[in-house]
Amino acid sequence: MPMKTRFRLIFRGERGRQFYCVDSETGRRFSLKTKDRDAAEQIVLAKNQSLRQPTLNLQIAKAYLAGTDNGVATRTWQNALASLTNTKLGANQDRWLVVARDPALAPLLPRIIIETPGEALLNAMKAGTVSTNVFLRRLHNFCVDMNWLPWPLIPKRQWPAVKYKEKRAITLAEHQQIIAAEVNPERKTLYQLCWHLGGAQGDIASLKAEDVDWQNSTISYTRKKTGVPVIIHLGAESLNFFKDLPGEGVLFPYLSRVRAGDRATEFRSRCRQLGIQGVTLHSYRYSWAERAKTVGYPERFAQEALGHNSKAVHRAYAKRALMKLPSLEEYERLAAAGQAAS
C-alpha cells in the first residue's frame, strides 16, 4: 500500500512566484525561500523521503529476517518473556513469573519486538523499579542473542545504571529482639539458622534431615539460585538447633512449602512490630559476611559458604565491616621469636 504523501508544493503570488510547502497533517504552511521550481520540488521530495525511509528500512529488514525467522513480523515481547521463562527452573522461574506481572512492562509486552523503538524500553524503566531495569536488560539481551533483534535497541553503555537501595546487615541486638518476639517455633529456628549459616532463606527453608552429617558436624546442600554445592562445618551452638527439628524429611514442613515472598512478608511484619527498619531476610547474609570479616575469617572460606559471586561477601570484605587490626610490632615480635627458635 503506497504511503500517503505528507508534504506538498504550492506557490503564491504572480510576482516573485514564491514557493511554499504545506504539511497535510498539521495544515501548516511555510516558505521554501526559493523561486526555483526545481529546487523547491527537490526540497519537498527530500522531506517526504525522510519520513518514508525509516518505514522502508524496517520493511526491508523484516523481509530479509523473514527468510530465516518466519516469526519476526509477529513476535512480541510477551512471547519472548514466555520463552525466556521456560528456560528457567525452580526459584529462578518463579522470579520471571513475577516479572511478567510488572505494571511497568504492561505497555511494552504486546508490542512487536522488531518494531519497538528504544524509547519504549526507556519509558518502561522510568515507570518501573530497579527490578524492572535489571530484568528488562536480561530480556532485551535474550532477544539479541536469539537474533530476534538484529541490533540492540539501547547500546550497552547507554543503558540506565542500576541503583540499588542501601542495604545493611542485621545487628546482634536486632536478631535477639526478633528471636525473643517470634512465637512460631519454625520461623524462630529458621531465623537462627540464617544467622549462623548465612544461607539464603530459600535454601535454609528447604533443608532436609539427610543434609546434616552428625558424625562430622557438617551440613551440605545445593544453592537453588546457582546450583553450586555448599558444605559448612557446624559449631556446637548451631548444631543444637537441628536437634529439635524432624529426624527425617524436610526440616521446615510449613516454611518449605510457602513462597519466598510470604516468608519475607512475615519477617517484615515482625520487624515492623519491633520498630526495626532497613532490613530483610536477605540482610542475614550481609550480617554473616560482616561478622566473618570482623573476626578475620578468610575471604575464600566466606566465598565458599555464601557463593563466590555473593554481593554480601564482596561488600563486607571490601570496606563495610570494621576489623581490629593487630599491630605490626606484634607480628615482628612473633617473627623474631620464630627465627630464634629455629
The answer on 273 and 198 residing in a single domain is yes
The answer on 150 and 88 residing in a single domain is yes
The answer on 301 and 202 residing in a single domain is yes
The reply to whether 85 falls in a domain is yes
* pLDDT recorded at residue 32: 85
**Average of pLDDT values for 224-253?**
85
**Average of pLDDT values for 234-243?**
86
The reply to whether 226 falls in a domain is yes
Confidence of residue 341 (pLDDT cuts 50, 70, 90): confident
Q: 130 to each of 42, 126, 133, 202, 208, how far by Cα in Å?
A: 49, 10, 5, 22, 34
CATH number where 296 lies: 1.10.443.10
The reply to whether 132 falls in a domain is yes
The answer on 149 and 266 residing in a single domain is no
Q: 330 to each of 295, 323, 338, how far by Cα in Å?
A: 17, 16, 12
Question: 21-61 pLDDT, tens per residue?
Answer: 898 888 888 888 888 888 888 888 888 877 766 656 656 66
The reply to whether 84 falls in a domain is yes
**Average of pLDDT values for 312-333?**
62
**Average of pLDDT values for 210-220?**
88
The reply to whether 276 falls in a domain is yes
134, containing H or E segment = helix 130-145
**Would the pLDDT of 1 be above 50?**
no
Question: 90-148 pLDDT, tens per residue?
Answer: 778 888 999 999 999 999 999 999 888 899 999 999 999 999 999 999 999 999 999 88
Question: 269-306 pLDDT, tens per residue?
Answer: 999 999 999 899 989 998 988 888 888 888 887 777 77
Domain that holds residue 31: 7-65
**Would the pLDDT of 62 be above 70?**
no
The reply to whether 16 falls in a domain is yes
The answer on 15 and 96 residing in a single domain is no
Question: 148-169 pLDDT, tens per residue?
Answer: 887 899 988 889 888 877 778 9
Joined grid coordinates for residue 305: 559458604
Between residues 70 and 269, which one has the greater pLDDT?
A: 269
Domains in the chain, number: 3
The answer on 196 and 287 residing in a single domain is yes
CA distance 132 to 152: 18
The answer on 35 and 96 residing in a single domain is no
Question: 181-213 pLDDT, tens per residue?
Answer: 999 999 999 999 999 988 888 889 999 999 998
User: With a threshold of 0.85, does the pTM exceed it?
Assistant: no
Q: Which of 88, 123, 158 is the last residue of a domain?
A: 158
Confidence of residue 218 (pLDDT cuts 50, 70, 90): confident
Beta sheet of 29-31, edge-to-edge order: 7-12, 18-23, 29-31
Other CB atoms within a 10 A radius of the CB of residue 21 amount to 18
Between residues 238 and 103, which one has the greater pLDDT?
A: 103
* pLDDT recorded at residue 306: 78
**Would the pLDDT of 254 be above 90?**
yes
* pLDDT recorded at residue 221: 85
